[in-house]
Structure 1
Amino acid sequence: MSATVRQFDHAPFQRTATARVCAVSEGAVAVDSTVFYPCGGGQPGDTGTMQTDSGRMLNVTDTVKGEHGLIWHRIDGPCPRVGEEVTLDIDWERRYRLMQMHTALHLLSVAVPYPVTGGQMTPDKGRLDFDVAGEALDKAAITAQINAWRADDLPVSTEWIDRAELEANPQLVKTVGAMPPSDSGTVRLVRIGEIDRQPCGGTHVASTGEIAPLEVKSIKNRGAHNRRITLVWQEATGGVS
């Protein structure tokens, strides 16, 4: 069985697509090609709908990775048949917020130039953990820097490099103890203007100007060296850009 084609790798703004069911399990459907991003790298899996060729509408409650490169869509009703054509439609408002936040976390990793030990995001907030020893971090300064890069409207693009090239440039990997997955010996990089270039499999906006105004909500100690920085939308706190 072939791996699911990951349309979101090259077309993160594509919201709908037709696909063919290639496997079913209890409450989950794998298709030959999808626009739904599966949970990974701190980014939640997409939600939305799956419509069968008979017109039955199913809610997709989560998207996850499976064995052999399959991507599984968890649904809340009876599964369609293997071989049946379905129409996939992402919850776009939720996905776009995640794309904005994921890109913002890349900016955070540049504003705070320390090794990243973990991260997670939702449509409402995102956080990164940094290996920082004994240095004070300034919430206001980090907020100002990220929003300055937003105002610069820097282009966000992707490229692919050989695994060997990544191994020859280990400084590209910011996450401690976690080498990015490779697809047939290649690794996907996300570039933001001239300020950042790092491996990432997630979905991102096309330019930093698309990111809504943000602020650093908190910086917390999570161990002797670990600092957890949380970003939120300014609209949620009453702030202004």
Structure 2
Amino acid sequence: MEELYLEDCYINEFDAIVESVIDERYVVLDRTAFYPEAGGQPYDTGFLYCAGKGYPVVSVRKADGRILHEVGTSELNEGDAVRGVINWDRRYLLMRYHTACHILSAIIHNETGAKISGNQLSEDKTRVDFSLEEFDREQLKAYEAKVNDVIDKKVPLSIEMMDREEAFKIPSIVKLKDAFPPEVLYIRVITIAGIDRQACGGTHVVSTGEIPHIEVFKAENKGKNNRRIYFRFRE
């Protein structure tokens, strides 16, 4: 299957052929721009259109190497030509949140050395988990200000598929070496110029200038050396 979002995150409409339909509700296509839930980023929603009828895509996930588009009960069949249309407002919002998450995570790591242990995007907020003994409100406001400074500078972002051995020369990716099985020959690398460089399969904007300013509005202690912060876009 061709995963169109890996090279161009801005594709929101595409043509495809139905390869199979599982249990009358999960559609497998030969190519897709729908993002399947992974890495803390929610799945895309939208529609598959065929012969003048639209089938709402309510969830998208990967299973057994295939991307499953859940459309409920459908009349689609193997070989049907369809046009996929993504809910762009949702996708673009998550793209901006994902890039903002990379910026904030990089700043926290560069400032404190803390390892980022997880993140979860949503349409109204995003959380970042990291290892740190303690933090205070002044620290959080300093992180927030630095993220917004990067946003104001309209820093470019690039996406490249790198040979695994070349990718493993990047310090931030070396620590993930064991996460890539031997059959993975190429690794997708997201670079925010001068800010961050890491392996990531998610969708992102091409410039930090597309992101609204953020505000860190909540902080939690989640156990020993485990901290969680939430941020959202300012209205």
Instruction: State the TM-score, normalizing by the size of structure 1.
Output: 0.89
Calculate the aligned-residue CA RMSD, in Å: 2.0
Q: Where does structure 2 lack aligned partners over 5 or more consecutive residues?
A: none
Whether the 8 Å CA contact 2:172–2:197 is kept in 1: the answer is: no
Matches within 5 A, 1:211-222: 211-222=211-222
1:44 corresponds to which residue?
Answer: 42
Q: Secondary structure at the match of 1:45?
A: coil
Q: Number of aligned pairs?
A: 229
Quickly say closer, same or farther: Cα 1:182–1:73, change in 2 above 3 A: farther
Matches within 5 A, 1:1-241: 4-26=1-23, 27-52=25-50, 54-67=51-64, 69-113=65-109, 114-136=114-136, 138-172=139-173, 179=179, 184-235=184-235
Deviation at 1:77, TM superposition (A): 3.0
1:41-97 CA distances to partner (integer Å, 9 max, x unpaired)?
Answer: 100110000111x21111000111121x32111113324000100110000000000
1:93-136 CA distances to partner (integer Å, 9 max, x unpaired)?
Answer: 00000000000000011110121111110121111100112454
Q: Secondary structure at the match of 2:42?
A: coil
1:140-185 CA distances to partner (integer Å, 9 max, x unpaired)?
Answer: 111111100000000011112222233344433677x983578741
Whether the 8 Å CA contact 1:109–1:116 is kept in 2: the answer is: yes
Moved over 6 A (4+): none
Identity of aligned residues (%): 36
Quickly say closer, same or farther: Cα 1:121–1:143, change in 2 above 3 A: same
Residue type of the alignment partner of 1:194:
G
Residue type of the alignment partner of 2:16:
A
Instruction: State the TM-score, normalizing by the size of structure 2.
Output: 0.91
Q: Secondary structure at the match of 1:112?
A: helix
CA distance in 2 between partners of 1:86 and 1:183 (Å): 31
Q: Where does structure 1 lack aligned partners over 5 or more consecutive residues?
A: 236-241
